[in-house]
Each structure stands twice: as C-alpha cells, then as structure tokens.
Amino acid sequence: MKQLHEQAHLNGRPLKPESLMMSYGFKPEWSEGAIKCPIFQTSTFVFNSAEEGKAFFELAYGLRQPAPEEEMGLIYSRLNNPSLEILEDRLTLWDGAEDAASFASGMAAISTSLLALLKPGDVVLHSEPVYGGSDFFLKQVLPRFGITAEGFDLHTTPEQLQERAAALGEKLAVLFVETPANPTNRLFDLQACAAAARRGGTAQRPCRVLVDNTFLGPVFQHPLRHGADLVIYSATKFLGGHSDLIAGAVLGSKALMKEVRAMRTFMGTMCDPNTGWMLMRSLETLKLRMERAAQSARVIADWLREHAQVTRTYYLGHLQDDPAQQAIFEQQCLSAGSMISFDIAGGEAEAFQFLNSLKLIKLAVSLGGTESLAEHPASMTHSDIEPATQREMGITASMVRLSIGVEDAHDLIADLDQAFNQVQQQAVAPVAALHA
C-alpha cells in the first residue's frame, strides 16, 4: 500500500491518472525488467509452505484480521491474479475509489453487485430507461428471488423520489441510476438520488446508490464524488475502447467492495488475465481517446443541429434550452462526451436509408470504441421496450444514435453528409417516377 502511494506521487505532488497508467502497481524488476506487466496466464499459485497456504486462506475467508502490512497472498485466479490486481489498482485512480474489482462483462459487474447487496423482500428503485440487459435483470430475474424493481423517470421530481424512498423505508436496499440515459442523453441528478436513498434503508443496512457510469466513463463523470456508493462500468465500451473485448468493473469503498468481491468469488464472474492485460493497454490511452472523440463529437453535433434533414439533436452540449438539465450537467459532468442521437426528418424508412448509406461509420450496436458506430435504437438496442413506453422515454422511429470515434471529424461529416444526400435522392426519386 505504502509502495503504491509512493508511486502515485512525485516529490509530494499527486500525479494524474494518465501519468500513472503505464506504471502504477507494477515494477519491472518483478518480471525480468519487462517494461510491461506480463499476462499471468495461470489458474493457480504455488505456496512457499503449507503454513503460508493456511495464512492466505485465513485472510481470503475472513477467518482472522490481517496483521499490520499483511496483504492477501495469491491463491487461485477466481479469487485474485496479478494481471487483475494491477488493472484494479489502476482503475481506482480515475474515480478516486478505495477499491476496484474487474469482471467478465458489464452485465457480470451489474448482476454480481446487485446480488451482493440484495435479499428477498428488498426493493430496488431504478432510473428509467436503463441498459436493456440491466432492465431485464431488474424486472425479470430479481423478482424470481423475491426482489422487486420499481422505476422512476425524468418526470419524477427530487421531492417525489424522496417521498417514494421514505415510503419504501427499510425495504429499499438499492437505488440504481444510469446517467446519462441511453439513447436520449437525459441526465439524472446524482446528488438528488443520494439524498433520496438516505430516506430509505436502515442505519444498519443503508440503501446503497449504484451508478452505471458507462456513458461518460471515468474521465468525464465521477459519481463517487456526488454521493454514489458503487460506480459500475461496462469496460467493453470506453475503458476497453477498441471494440475487441468484453469486460466490466465496479469501484467503491473497501468495506462495500469486500461484499462485491466475495460475491464475485462465489459466482466466478471475474475478468480473465488476458482481457485484464488488454484493458491495461487500453487505459494508457483512455483520456486521449475520450477527449479526442468528445472534441469531434462537438463539431459533428453542431453540424447536425444545423442540417435541414435533422429535426432534433440529443447531445449534452445542446442543453441550453433546458435549464434544469443544464444545471445537472454543470454539477456532475466534465464534458459532453461522444454520444450523439438525432431525429432524421421522416421516420423509420428515412433512418434505415441513412444507416444503410453510411460508408466510414459502421452500422453496429455498442459504443465507446475508436471507430464511429451508428444504430437505430427503436428497432435495435431498445427494441424489447413496448412502442408506447418507447414514446414516453422519447425514443422515436426517426432516431439514430452515433458513437463518435477517433477518425477525422470532417471525414465523418463527409460520410454523414453523403448519407443524408442518399436519403433525399431516394425521397425525390419515387415522385419523379410518378411524373414520368
């Protein structure tokens, strides 16, 4: 621990996460001078003695308190592995968290965290909409274990949320928030959520605030500083950032992470060493990638807003007409990020023609990678939501969602422009044919 603290400072100056991503938690002398941490591709670890094995297990199973400076030794890769421990140490830096745990996927991170904190009879209050997998887990899986999920949306005022939390009382165990919401980029006020959570739960078992921070990532939003107890990532998105792996992460206080980690051990939902190593490589460029993509997104969003075939943009840099949303943005977001949705003039047909005409931007779900992606939320990522509910959530048939990558912004605009032209030509063509 002391060693880690020393590595994070230079003559007493705390170093920025981006300065530490190449070295933190690893020493070349541990591995033949290798500048990069090796992949510890191993399932189990050899004990120096039976006594050492016993001591490690005592700590792993909490049979005794650790001695001063005693840390848990390596036992078996479902419990711990150096490739994951170094990754997890690095992950803590961005969010200023005490502890982090890596997972096999974002869904593994979400489901394991929820199961670690919930028991039959509990209620989860959650923002709506949430990611489709989370939605299914909350509404279809948890009820089978006697746990109820109740949604709240943007029309719920902070006072109403507090009243609902107070009415649920000790049954309220978790408040789960995803902000900005996908695909509309609507913001939920994290401090208001934390205040509501304090109205539920009990002194012995407080209601925990879990925040899915995948969309702005650990560079542009730090929920732990706004009252969250756990921050969760689909590391598949910005953290991985190259559309080549599936992983997840959870961060929080040492005490709470102990519960999450224990559930991870028993469910076996940890990340594998190779993916852990890939994530470490990705973290070296995390800030560069996110800032660059956000810069391009601003240029592209502003261009889209002025386009004759765009009826509306959903972008965190375009909240000027909505003072309440703008206030939340200023309070908790550090950038508008790189996710843009927009409504194309027309409906599903125009949206599909547009998507089918893109050349440089790929038609795929997922987000946060180096390449720009486009998709149609109503028929793809959010297709299992009833049309009426989709409308309530503001998801329209004409909505296209863009995840902006690191390509040249003007190349991306050229692609969007030619796709808009294709849509317009196809709209004109049938009329021309009629008159022929």
Ligand X SMILES: *Cc1c(COP(=O)(O)O)cnc(C)c1O
Site residues, ligand X (CB under 6 A) = 105-107, 131, 133-134, 178, 182, 212, 214-215, 234, 236-237, 246, 248
The least distance separating ligand X from the CB of residue 198, rounded to whole angstroms, comes to 25
The least distance separating ligand X from the CB of residue 99, rounded to whole angstroms, comes to 20
Q: What are the DSSP calls for 120-166, one per residue?
A: TT-EEEEESS--HHHHHIIIIIGGGGT-EEEEE-TTS-HHHHHHHHH
Q: How far is CA 317 from CA 190, 288, 338, 400, 405, in A?
A: 19, 19, 10, 17, 17
The strand pair at 123-127 and 148-152 is best described as: parallel
The least distance separating ligand X from the CB of residue 381, rounded to whole angstroms, comes to 9
The least distance separating ligand X from the CB of residue 215, rounded to whole angstroms, comes to 6
Q: How far is CA 392 from CA 20, 155, 386, 412, in A?
A: 44, 10, 10, 31
**Shorter beta-carbon distance to ligand X: residue 25 or 106:** 106
User: What one-letter code names the amino acid at 285?
Assistant: T
**Shorter beta-carbon distance to ligand X: residue 111 or 353:** 111
Q: Which residue is nearest to ligand X (CB)?
A: 106
**Shorter beta-carbon distance to ligand X: residue 210 or 310:** 210
**Shorter beta-carbon distance to ligand X: residue 55 or 231:** 231
**Shorter beta-carbon distance to ligand X: residue 81 or 182:** 182
Both tokens assigned to 274: 């190779």
Beta bridge partners of 103: 248, 270
The least distance separating ligand X from the CB of residue 126, rounded to whole angstroms, comes to 12
The least distance separating ligand X from the CB of residue 163, rounded to whole angstroms, comes to 27
Q: What are the DSSP calls for 6-24, one per residue?
A: HHTEETTEEPPHHHHTTTT
**Shorter beta-carbon distance to ligand X: residue 178 or 415:** 178
Longest dimension (CA), the chain: 91
**Shorter beta-carbon distance to ligand X: residue 257 or 271:** 271
Of residues 177, 182, 225, the one with CA closest to residue 197: 177
The least distance separating ligand X from the CB of residue 421, rounded to whole angstroms, comes to 31
Residue 352 sits at φ, ψ, to 5 deg, of: -65, -45
Q: In what order do the strands lie in the sheet with 362-363?
A: 310-314, 339-344, 399-403, 373-375, 362-363
